[in-house]
Amino acid sequence: MRFDPRFCPNATRVLGLDAITYGGDYNPEQWPREIWHEDVELMVRAGVNMVSVGIWSWAKLEPREGEFDFEWLDYLLDLLHKGGIRVDLATPTAAPPAWFYKNYPQARVVTRDGTVLTNASRGMAAPSSPDYQRACANVTRALAQRYGNHPAVAMWHVHNEYGAPVSDSYDNASRDAWRIWLAQRYLTLDGVNEAWGTSFWGQTYYEWDEIPVPAISATVTNPSMRLDYARFSSDAVLGCYLQERDIIKEHSAAPVTTNFMALNCPSMDLWAWAQEVDIVSNDYYLEAADPRGHIKLALDSDLTRSIARGKPWILLEHSTSGVNWQDRNVAKKPKEMARNSLSSVARGADGIMFFQWRAARFGAEKFHSAMLPHAGVRSRVFREVCDLGAALGELSQAGVAGSSVPAEVALLWDWESFWAQDLEWRPSIDAQHRERTLAFYTQLWEDKVTVDFAYPEQDLSAYKLVIAPASYLLTDAGAANLADYVRGGGKLAVSFFSGVVNENDTVRHGGLGAALEDVLGLRIDEFLPLRSGDSYTLLAEGKLADACVASVDARIVGGKLRGDVWADDLDVQTAEIMARYLDGPKPDGAAITRNLLGQGAAWYVSSRLVGADLAAFLDAVYLDAGVSPRRDLPADFEIVTRASRDESGDRFTFLINHTEQVVDYVSGTIVENLIPGGEQASAAVAVPPGEVWVVREHA
């Protein structure tokens, strides 16, 4: 996989996959060839070393079914190769050509409400359609045979953002595949009926061909069935990926990836998907309406590193400035693009790529920013793109690529649980897994505590603290694993509406919290959700009261916290009460508890806490777990450390100043500042507003 130095006069700038990868989606089929030559020159100027090519090119590559035109792609790959730009070559199956829809109208996607989607846009066909699968296999094979050993091809980019915009379809081929999937999972119809609780509302199935797809029905569709359809759909789409990947592997040794959307495409179970790619890659776009969007970006990066099991990953798409598909596409401020990009590097990315290299003049995305915007090389954005390329080159030289991101805390994240919780008729629409996860993550981010994400069944023993912000669905194996983790000395913090159902969305016999009763030392008699806007006061006791006293936040007075959305009627067994409700639906009832189990302890918080109240709760938990937050620095000063995997003991600490003030950072062990133009660092550095400094420290 090493880059061929014959085409790389400046090895620090063009390092292919052995260093930090830099570039973007490149769609030259939208431009005349003379522009392609200019593109390559400008890419070299910007420090670009890889581009993703061919993502939307099916109609150009195969203008008629079975007839291929590779002349333009041969020319392009050779041109890029001569320029020292490596290629992430895409299979174009996210945009089938018009002939496909004309020849195979039955392969169109059918939505849950029965709408048949037409073409004139992009978006795959029905994932289970044999016609779509065959057409994908044909074009993938043709590409892999032709370019499998092309020296420019560094990586394969299968499809584009599987699961978006199409994750599920309710067409006839999907229905047939769904029945087969069910037969494989349950073996018998009795198994299906039992898993889905079909004796409720008289839904029992006596023949396989009686089972429908869970399209819209008169009222709420069987939730267990819908949960299985979500699993089936993730598997069906994964099957499309696997088919293409396996064909590529027959013809090429280059690594294969597909660009995930870890945070923003909730329909794919990426714990399963990530095992099937050679390199995890991910796309993320800031939400312009959120002035602190960098926190969700950080969450997305930590999630992506976690599904990559700690191995380096590639940010395959983000934007240099505004996008085009939000209501108000706010342009990024000067240096914001660098802060976003380097935050991702800090959190384990070894590649920083954008949508897209050159802004499109026509089509749906002509107002989307690009590395080379409509305003051209004189633009601020292009200057910043060149600066970022230089900075990434420096970081590559310093050995950042390949280093790891140590984390002491894990947040539980389970797509299956989220699918189940998102179904209809839950106790409160205000109990939202995304809100809880983001609330806990935000506090940890402000506290500069780096987190991994984990699924409930995985080995958790390396973490000092595991937090379950929203684990509505918990398998028996997951619950047992959490109990073992605590018994072995781990500290666990569980938020409300967790451990409620098993993998079939079925409440366990024995209670609403039966899965976690022993570990939490309590029983849940009843859920007590609140009316919209209602809140109540909790009075802290014990270790939590101590944490409130120690809190520097003026909002915490006399150990009183505010909670809303939710309460439980708790029957406390072995747990110690850490806070009681003073008012609300259960005055004097236990609200927050801590239970000793084996060598560890498990906290339970039955209330929705935010801001200072959540910070006070976490302070008590951190102390219990031996985790050290950094509350002495401004909340929006981001600090993350990558650690070298070799014997050097080098640690690269990224200091990202999202504030408008200079922030002083003191460390006794700084060796040098790695960002070009930055001063050589001593024990203390003063990071200017908006800047990112990366310092090398020794452990």
Residues lying near ligand GLA in the complex (CB under 6 A): 160-161, 283, 285, 317, 323, 355, 365, 368
Sheet-wide strand order for 465-468 = 451-454, 409-412, 465-468, 491-495, 600-605, 590-597, 576-581, 535-540, 560-564
> Could you tell me which residues come within 8 angstroms of residue 623 by beta carbon, excluding any fewer than 6 positions away?
543, 547
Tell me phi and psi for residue 451, to 5 degrees. Answer: -120, 150
Of 622, 604, 610, the residue nearest 561 (C-alpha)? 610
Shortest spacing between CB 317 and ligand GLA, in angstroms: 5
Please pick, among 62, 161, 416, 517, the residue that the annotation labels catalytic. 161
Nearest-approach distance from CB 283 to ligand GLA, in angstroms:
4
Nearer to ligand GLA, 160 or 644 (CB): 160
Rounded distance, CA 586 to CA 604, Å? 16
Residue closer to ligand GLA by CB (options 221, 282) is 282
Shorter beta-carbon distance to ligand GLA: residue 263 or 431: 263
Q: Which residue, 201 or 325, is less far from ligand GLA as judged by CB?
A: 325
Instruction: Report the C-alpha gap between 364 and 120 in whole angstroms.
Output: 11
Active-site residue, 317 included: yes
Judge whether 305 and 263 are in contact, CB under 8 Å. Answer: no
| Cα separation, 79 vs 72, whole angstroms | 11
What the block records as the tokens of 312 is 């380096």
Number of residue whose CB is nearest ligand GLA:
355
Q: What share of the chain is helix, strand, coil (3-state, %, to 5)?
A: 35, 20, 45
CB of 29 to ligand GLA, least distance (A): 14
Neighbours of 441 (CB within 10 A): 23
Adjacent-strand bridge partners of 665: 685
* 24, 370 contact by CB (below 8 A): yes
Cβ-based neighbour number of residue 661 at 10 Å:
12
How far is the C-alpha of 36 from the C-alpha of 17, rounded, in Å? 23
Catalytically annotated residue among 244, 317, 517, 697: 317
- In the complex with ligand GLA, the residue whose CB is nearer, 25 or 517, is 25
Beta carbon nearer to ligand GLA, 156 or 181: 156
User: Closest approach of Cβ 330 to ligand GLA, in Å?
Assistant: 14
Q: Which is nearer to ligand GLA, 279 or 467 (CB)?
A: 279
Q: Distance (Å, rounded) from C-alpha 356 to C-alpha 372?
A: 8
Task: Give me the active site residues, please.
Answer: 161, 317
